[in-house]
Amino acid sequence: MAAAPDRLRRARPLLGTFVEITVAHAAPDLMEAAVEAAFDAIARVHQRMSFHDPLSDVSRLNNHAAAGAVTVDPWTFQVLEAAVELHRRSAGAFDVGVAPVLQELGLLPGPSALPHSPSATTMDGQIELLPGCRVRFRDQHVAIDLGGIAKGFAVDRALEVLRERGLPQGLVNAGGDLAVFGPEPESVFIRHPLDPHRLIGHVQVANEALATSGNCIDLFGSGRVTRRAIIDPRTQEPPRAIAGVSVRAPSCLMADALTKVVMIQGEDSVALLDRYDAHAFVVSISGEIRVTSGWLDSKTLAA
């Protein structure tokens, strides 16, 4: 991928991280235009689903959806549909309604002491998806954060743009949540969840997605792990046994979301992984690695 003339690789700060798009084997003009359009798709997701932007769909929902139905971008609606489905199928482990808990822990901006009752911090039956991309919350204390799923969705949309433009090969990597299409597999290293200076695994990704969750890291400062951003909606605490999870799945939305479920459910998540044709690579707090059997069937190389 280095300096091959028929390859184009660009990166921009979006979705709170660095989004990188790589394309190959097409005319330079076509590749440049396609990459630009793919970044536009990511920017659209960023605008609609940012928790921080007061004009985003997410902010409008959090501020107004309890008072009456709010019309959102079809993409936001699509993500919410997936979130509701995953919530149901994961017995509540996947929950975009944990925003108030994240705020209390200082992981999201907002009032530090929301007047919520614990029951209102999950999305259980609280999100009504209505015809015409309208959304209503049943409880005024519900606040959603799509941070656990929108990045994967954005990667899928960008990849779709690259395909539609007729490119033969492409990769979109949004801060470690990535998807690849085309005949050439991409070589991806998995960062150690407890020590970002180290890599702990290697996997070949072809025509599928790979997402990793665990800690946030700050390479500007110490480079050390700073804080946990995943909360078990049932205990309202970070998962204790697992340090990091990578999931391979047909779509990046699903890979992204399933990393959170595996973080919380551990080995119990295997039925859900099967249902979505997904495979997991799990690093425990003690540094032990476990994978689902399907992970090894691929061209994965790890431990």
Partner 1 sequence: MTGWIRLAAPAAIVSAIVPPAYAVQYLSIAQAQKEAFPSATSFAQVDVRSWKAQSGGTVLGLFVVDHVVGKHLYIDYSVALDPGGRIKRVDILQYRESYGGEVREASWLAQFVGKSGASALKVDQDIRNISGATLSSHHVTEGVKRVLAAYGSRAR
Stretch 239-258 residues interacting with partner 1 (CB under 8 A): 244, 246
**Contact positions with partner 1 (CB under 8 A) in 72-91:** none
By the 8 A CB rule, do 155 and 179 touch?
yes
Shorter beta-carbon distance to partner 1: residue 101 or 203: 203
Q: Does 176 bind partner 1 (CB under 8 A)?
A: yes
Q: Tell me the CA end-to-end span of the chain in Å, nearest whole number.
A: 25
Q: Which is nearer to partner 1, 70 or 172 (CB)?
A: 172
The contact pattern for partner 1, residues 270-299, with x = CB under 8 A and - = no contact, is x--xx-------x-----xxxxxxxxx---
How many other CB atoms are found less than 10 A from the CB of residue 47? Answer: 14
- Cβ contact 148:134 at 8 Å: no
Among positions 98, 101, 211, 261, the unique one binding partner 1 when judged by CB under 8 A:
211
Under rule CB under 8 A, residue 175 binds partner 1? yes
Contact 173, 15 (CB under 8 A): no
Q: Which stretch binds partner 1 (CB under 8 A): 84-92, 153-161, 205-213, 234-242?
A: 205-213
**Half-sphere exposure of residue 296: CA atoms within 13 angstroms, side-chain side:** 8
What is the Rg, in whole angstroms, of the alpha carbon atoms belonging to the chain? 19
Give yes or no for residue 198 binding partner 1 (CB under 8 A).
yes
Paired tokens of 170: 């492409």
Return the number of the residue (70 or 262) whose C-beta is nearest partner 1.
262
- Which one of residues 170, 182, 193, 239 is an interface residue with partner 1 (CB under 8 A)? 193
Q: Between the CA atoms of 30, 31, 35 and 37, what dihedral angle is there, to the nearest 10 degrees?
A: 10
Residue pair 143/97 in contact (Cβ under 8 Å)? The answer is yes
Pick from 17, 63, 119, 235: which binds partner 1 (CB under 8 A)?
17
Which residues in 26-65 contact partner 1 (CB under 8 A)?
32
Q: Hey, how many other C-beta atoms are within 10 angstroms of the C-beta on 115?
A: 9
Nearer to partner 1, 142 or 214 (CB): 214
Instruction: Provide, rounded to whole angstroms, the least separation between the CB of residue 225 and partner 1.
Output: 7
Nearest to 96 by CA among 46, 64, 137: 137
Sites for partner 1 among residues 129-158 (CB under 8 A):
151
Structure tokens at 8: 């184009």
| Contact status: 196 vs partner 1 (CB under 8 A) | yes
Regarding 103 and contact with partner 1 (CB under 8 A), the answer is no
CB of 113 or CB of 219, closer to partner 1: 219
The CA–CA distances, whole Å, from 88 to 91, 93, 286 equal 6, 9, 31
User: Does 186 engage in binding with partner 1 (CB under 8 A)?
Assistant: yes
Closest CA to 186 of 13, 24, 15: 24
Binder of partner 1 out of 11, 91, 241, 285 (CB under 8 A): 11
In whole angstroms, how close is the CB of 109 to partner 1 at the nearest point? 12
Q: Which residue in 54, 67, 197, 207 binds partner 1 (CB under 8 A)?
A: 197
Cβ contacts of residue 294 below 8 Å, gap of 6+? 273, 279
Instruction: Output DSSP code: residue 121.
Output: G
CB of 14 or CB of 142, closer to partner 1:
14
